[in-house]
Structure 1
Amino acid sequence: MCHACKKLRPIGTACPCRASAPKRKHKSKNTRVKGKYDHQWQKVRAQAIRLHPFCSHCGTTHDLTGDHIVPLAQGGTNTLDNVRVLCRSCNSRREQAIRRARKAP
């Protein structure tokens, strides 16, 4: 049964109503979807960007994001002293370096 149109379909066949919708390869990285980042994080991130309106690594003022110095998974908090401002490319570069370091023996 197709969950979208509620019609019975043979097992292994795709429903025509789903054919037009493109499938996403990756989940959205929207902060509201993750569940870890609440309204407090949004306020702290915005305040950090107002106080420090450029990337800490490369100095650009374009496409800025807030980044936890100590990640929440490792006991970090959503406070101003645990946030640094990075541009999106520096933030993703840093994240990739952390992932590579975890995989290394």
Structure 2
Amino acid sequence: MQRPCIGCGALIPSGSRCGQCRPKRPPTPRRKGRTATDWRWRKLSQKLRRLSPFCEKCLATSDLTVDHIIPPTERPDLVYEILNLRVWCRSCNGSRGNRVTDQERQQVLDAIAARSLRVETRNASNRY
């Protein structure tokens, strides 16, 4: 069944506009860092969702995502840092937005510093 184009009225087989009347979309800029197609991020996200198969906030078990505690826009160097990630459902993650409290930020940075100190101490004791 053919329909008329809403732009020029010509009969078209499908859609609402013919190729000439269809608005041209500007190319989307490529984001730097983590994207949904980034292999490393996909593997890390799958691993974390497998290890924690529920939302850490509301305990939901469906539509899980991995949330950055400190957003990548603030600290791009922590994108793949496991201590900066948590499993939340999509609704909890969406309601949080891009906000982080000073307490949450400090907890993440303290945990990273403590891990670095443990690694240094372990490496120093293995030298002798």
* Counterpart amino acid of residue 14 in structure 1: G
Corresponding residue number in structure 2 for 1:71: 71
C-alpha change, 1:41 and 1:60, in structure 2 (3 Å) is same
Tell which structure's C-alpha radius of gyration is larger: 2
* Counterpart amino acid of residue 82 in structure 2: L
Q: Count residues with an aligned counterpart.
A: 75
1:83 matches 2:79: no
Q: Which runs of 5+ in 2 are unaligned?
A: 1-5, 18-22, 24-29, 100-128
Inter-partner Cα distance in structure 2 for 1:62 and 1:68: 19
Query: What's the TM-score once normalised by structure 2's chain length?
Result: 0.48
SS, match of residue 79 in structure 2: coil
> Which fold has the larger relative contact order, with Cα–Cα distance below 8 Å and residues 6 or more apart in sequence?
1
Whether the aligned pair in 2 keeps the contact of 1:45 and 1:83 (CA below 8 Å) is no
1:56-80 deviation line (CA, Å, top 9, x unaligned): 1001111111111111111132132
SS, match of residue 72 in structure 1: coil
Inter-partner Cα distance in structure 2 for 1:34 and 1:92: 20
SS, match of residue 73 in structure 2: helix
Corresponding residue number in structure 2 for 1:14: 7
